[in-house]
Amino acid sequence: MTQAAPRRNAYAEAGVDIDRAADFVRRIATLAASTRRPGAEVRIGGFGGVFDPGACGYRDPLLVATTDGVGTKLLLGRESGRLYGLGIDLVAMCVNDLLVQGAEPLFFLDYYATGRLEPARAEALVAGMAEACRLSGCALLGGETAEMPGLYRSGDFDLAGFAVGAVERQALLPRTVRPGDRILALASSGVHANGFSLVRKILRERGLKPADPAPFDRRRSLAEVLLEPTRIYVRSCLAAIRGGGVRAFAHITGGGLLENIPRVLPEDTAARLDLQSYELPAVFRWLAAEAGLDALELARTFNCGIGMVAIVAPEAEEEIRRELADAGERVWRVGEIVAGRGKPRVELIGVEKAWGFLASPS
């Protein structure tokens, strides 16, 4: 049996370049180090990240863990070359979920898989993650970069993120929500990272490219509007929690307003949302018109301009609104909790006057 002659770069010839991956790790070490926080001494390249919860000052903490991705927004970001914002999206989708339990983000890890590692592209993604971690006050503790030729085609990649937070046991959210509680809306920065399979279908059917001017805002391209990174609500919402009176948060992600708000409501209650309380952003009006969505389908698919909902005690409403506004949020009362029957749900009122032609058929 004849053995093949030894070859120094056989693995690289198969599509996996260990030297390139090692160089990439060295390049992103500074980005990770910029996210250092109490409890985390960030050292990229080890087998695991270490976090010391004792350095955070918690007395009786519970740990909260979340995981998420960016979905098919990746495809639009790749096509337009706008990758930095996707890194922000990845962190935001995880840390905003932590807030729903009232948890402070402690650390974040990412998983980046591709057919062939392109360091400049991967570094742009990690730079976005690092920026989002700094905004969230959490450490980019580590991650995994996987080069898998054959599983991913040339240019393809995928992202996943994992975040861990902590909350004092007695401060865990949601607390008991009851009729009469006020519903505050925190404005989204745009479409965030949900509904992009439908967004891409609309662009494809209309023959539109990401670089084209947005039909509803000629000053900006479709890529600028649609790929605006997901807003991070960590600092503002944690400040609101500390003031007392917050019963619950709901992060408006996949499933939109209709599916996410009931997740924090008890049985026999409903969230009554008055759509006349705010103006539907132009991008959602355009998406609804192009896809032929009625109000219910629109509210089940997209965030409709509301990225986070806070349910608060009536007596605390004004103070919490002021706290959120002082932290830079656009916030308004969008409704209240009412008595319901059976499973919790969302009721939309003011549909005809607020969204007009988007009203659901009778």
Over 90: is that where the pLDDT of 324 sits?
yes
Q: What's the mean per-residue pLDDT of the chain?
A: 91
User: Which residues span the domain enclosing 163?
Assistant: 16-171
In a domain, 58, yes or no: yes
In terms of domains, do 273 and 329 share one?
yes
Choose the weakest-confidence range: 1-10, 91-100, 109-118, 243-252. Answer: 1-10
In terms of domains, do 114 and 198 share one?
no
- Whichever domain contains 59, its CATH number is 3.30.1330.10
Over 70: is that where the pLDDT of 63 sits?
yes
In a domain, 7, yes or no: no
pLDDT of residue 7: 59
Confidence of residue 20 (pLDDT cuts 50, 70, 90): low
Residue that is last in its domain, among 112, 136, 171 = 171
Confidence of residue 54 (pLDDT cuts 50, 70, 90): confident
Confidence of residue 22 (pLDDT cuts 50, 70, 90): low
In a domain, 2, yes or no: no
- Whichever domain contains 195, its CATH number is 3.90.650.10
Residue that is last in its domain, among 113, 146, 171 = 171
Over 60: is that where the pLDDT of 1 sits?
no
pLDDT of residue 37: 83
Residue that is last in its domain, among 144, 171, 198 = 171
Q: Which of 222, 264, 226 is nearest to 71 (CA)?
A: 226
In terms of domains, do 258 and 118 share one?
no
In a domain, 1, yes or no: no
* Residue 208 main-chain phi, psi, to 5 deg: -95, 145
In a domain, 11, yes or no: no
Confidence of residue 191 (pLDDT cuts 50, 70, 90): very high
pLDDT of residue 361: 45
In a domain, 5, yes or no: no
In a domain, 8, yes or no: no
In terms of domains, do 20 and 135 share one?
yes
In terms of domains, do 160 and 197 share one?
no
Residues 64, 103 contacting (CB under 8 angstroms): yes
In terms of domains, do 231 and 204 share one?
yes
The 3 state secondary structure assigned to 73-117 is HHHHHHHHCCCHHHHHHHHHHHHHHHHCCCCEEEEEEEEEEECCC
Q: Using alpha carbons, list the distances in angstroms from residue 179 to 3, 183, 223, 252, 267.
A: 77, 11, 41, 21, 11
Over 80: is that where the pLDDT of 347 sits?
yes
In terms of domains, do 199 and 141 share one?
no
Residues 6+ positions from 227 with CB-CB distance below 8 Å: 73, 76, 77, 80, 82, 85, 86, 210
Confidence of residue 11 (pLDDT cuts 50, 70, 90): low
In a domain, 10, yes or no: no
In terms of domains, do 160 and 75 share one?
yes
Over 90: is that where the pLDDT of 140 sits?
yes
pLDDT of residue 49: 76
Instruction: Read off the pLDDT of each residue in 130-157 and give the average, rounded to a whole number.
Output: 92
In terms of domains, do 225 and 340 share one?
yes
pLDDT of residue 5: 57
In terms of domains, do 257 and 152 share one?
no
Number of domains in the chain: 2
In terms of domains, do 340 and 272 share one?
yes
In terms of domains, do 163 and 282 share one?
no
Which pLDDT tens digit goes with each residue over 210-236?
Answer: 999 999 998 999 999 999 999 999 999
